[in-house]
Amino acid sequence: MTGCPVNTTGTIAPPAPAAGTAPPPPGPKGKREKLSALSKLARDPWFYPLELTRKYGDVVSVPTPFVKTVYLGHPDHIDHVLVKHADKYRRSDMVSKQMVPPKLGHNFFAFADDAEWQRGRALYRPSFTQKNLADLGDLFTESVTAQVGSWARAADSDGVVDIAEKTHELALVVLFNAMFDEHISLRLLPLMKKALVPAMLVTTIRVAMYSLPEWVPRPFDKTAANILKTYGGAAVDQVVETRRRHPTDRPDLLNLLINATYDDGRPLETEKIMVEIAGMVVGGHETTAAALAWTFALLASHPEVEERLVAEVDALGGAPVTVADMPKLPLVRACFDEAQRLQGGLVINPKTAVVDDEIGGYHIAEGTTILYSSLALQRDPRFWKRPDEFDPDRFLNNEADLRAFVPFGKGQRLCLGMRMAYIEAVLTIATAYQQYRFTLQPGYQIQHKYRMSMGLKGGLPVRLAPREAPRGAV
């Protein structure tokens, strides 16, 4: 695994406040030190925040041009922003205005603004309840079984297949089948894939350049906008128009959006429906797919854990894995959680202070962008023993510090898709190990690939070996 700076010191105590006013957070001083810190953060947004907290404490002023930025490195401070005082912070413009090229004329989410977010949340919540997702159990099993079964057919003559690519395809299909009760057509899947790759690339670049004025050119903006309009718009429009021509009474998200109305009774505009679907596809499939790829990579490189997982899966007797089987697969879930911890999920999670505030004894000015890094928090040795080791038992033996485990966020914006992600992940991992054994290519090393959700550099090429069905298979 890639290494990270070791934080062996505690939080640096803040200086005494002057005349009743909390001091500003500490951070790099002087032009040279600021430029050095900014350069390191740009090159290594994964582990450099650990160095910042080791040197300056858990509330750090980060030198970013044109924008006042503060980084938080402690779970208590993150809770302050996301849970205890969420009313003092809003979604940052780094997300709401930088996600896609302005040439598209919209964001990835129709309900991106805080003013509309509560309405969108209330609209979607019924589709993400445990009961509703359990009712879709057969769809999950059918989709996962079919997709995993296709992996061997996709392998080359040496039996090698890129599992990272396959988890992305699987996540797309499962999302559509479960949330929109739609099977992706052979024509639609390539369109979606062609739009999603540039979408994630340009999103990563725009967020990284968020503090610069809009007139500063963003690489790939024009190309990505054209691809998204041509392919993404066509793909989503096909789904919406097909449902309008052939209405159903299914309680899926597509019908919720089509039947949604404003307070005055007006229906949600078709463009908003299309934008929201596109946002769900990007946000809902990318994170789970990347975490799944990390899980397979880590298991393949830790054979002793892999053998225990195979035994747990084989105890099911070989029948297709269902939602009802999930309580029987605690190690599978623990491996997914440990992979999410090491992967880091979203790189940076920004908020903006809407009023003056105080965190950890330091003054937070109105308008300040607040950042925290899931990866840095989940690799911090203050909260995790052996933070760089793959040890899923920490989640089985209550050794995990869940305050510092935030793959789905916290507070009122806790990801609605969390339950769905666990269903998809546990069923996929268990089904895959029912059917195959995985061998990494010689010399393969697990490395982070910087995107909005951490991928694997070089993908995950593995040799598949089909397994015989275990004894007692149905």
Between 268 and 106, the higher pLDDT residue: 268
pLDDT of 325 strictly over 90: yes
| Separation CA 435–CA 172 (nearest Å) | 21
Question: Does residue 194 register a pLDDT over 80?
Answer: no
**pLDDT at residue 161, as a whole number:** 95
Question: pLDDT at position 5, please?
Answer: 37
Q: Closest Cα to residue 14, out of 1, 31, 27, 3?
A: 27
Burial of 13 per CB tally in 10 Å (0-12, 13-18, 19+): exposed
- Residue 10 has a pLDDT of 46
Given this model, what pLDDT does residue 225 score? 61
What pLDDT is attached to residue 440?
96
Structure token pair of residue 342: 């090491």
- 223 — pLDDT class (breaks 50, 70, 90): low
Q: Which of 236-240, 378-382, 457-461 has the lowest mean pLDDT?
A: 236-240
| Position 300 confidence tier, pLDDT thresholds 50, 70, 90 | very high
Percent of the residues in the chain that have a pLDDT greater than 90, as a whole number: 43
pLDDT at 121: 60
Under the banding of pLDDT at 50, 70 and 90, the label for residue 6 is very low
**Which comes out higher in pLDDT, residue 469 or 450?**
450
pLDDT at 328 over 60: yes
Quote the pLDDT of residue 394: 97
If one compares 144 and 420, the residue with the highest pLDDT of the two is: 144
Specify whether domain 30-466 bears CATH 1.10.630.10. yes
pLDDT of amino acid 9: 43
Q: What is the pLDDT of residue 219?
A: 61
For position 104, what pLDDT does the model report? 43
Q: Say yes or no to pLDDT of 198 above 50.
A: yes
Per-residue pLDDT tens digits for 394-406: 999 999 999 999 9
Spatial separation of the C-alpha atoms in residues 451 and 458, rounded to whole Å: 13
Question: What is residue 56's predicted lDDT score, i.e. its pLDDT?
Answer: 96
Overall average pLDDT of the 457-473 stretch: 81
Residues 336, 425: Cα–Cα separation, whole Å: 7
Q: Rounded mean pLDDT of 415-421?
A: 82
**Whole-number Cα distances in Å, 215 to 53, 106, 204, 210, 356:** 33, 18, 18, 12, 29
Average pLDDT over residues 250-276: 74
Pairing of strands 160-162, 461-466: antiparallel
The mean of the pLDDT values for the chain is 80
d(CA 127, CA 132): 6
- Reported as a pLDDT band with limits 50, 70 and 90, residue 93 is low
The per-residue pLDDT for range 368-385, each reduced to its tens digit, is: 999 998 999 999 999 999
pLDDT confidence band for 89 (50 / 70 / 90): very high
Rounded to an integer, the average pLDDT of 46-55 is 90
CB 224 within 8 A of CB 236: no
Q: What is the layout of strands, in order, in the sheet containing 369-371? A: 59-62, 69-72, 369-371, 351-353, 89-91
- Quick one: average pLDDT of 294-320? 97
Of the pLDDT bands very low, low, confident and very high (cuts 50, 70, 90), residue 3 is very low
Confidence of residue 261 (pLDDT cuts 50, 70, 90): confident
What single-letter amino acid sits at 370? I
Q: pLDDT-derived band of residue 220, with 50, 70 and 90 as boundaries?
A: low
What's the confidence (pLDDT) of residue 283? 66
pTM above 0.85, yes or no: no
For residue 45, is pLDDT > 80?
Answer: no
**In this model, does residue 235 exceed pLDDT 90?**
no
> Does residue 277 register a pLDDT over 50?
yes
Confidence band of 264 (pLDDT split at 50, 70, 90):
confident
Q: What are the tens digits of pLDDT across the range 146-182?
A: 999 999 998 888 899 999 999 988 988 888 777 676 6
Q: How confident is the model at residue 238 (pLDDT cuts 50, 70, 90)?
A: confident
- pLDDT given for residue 362 in this prediction: 97
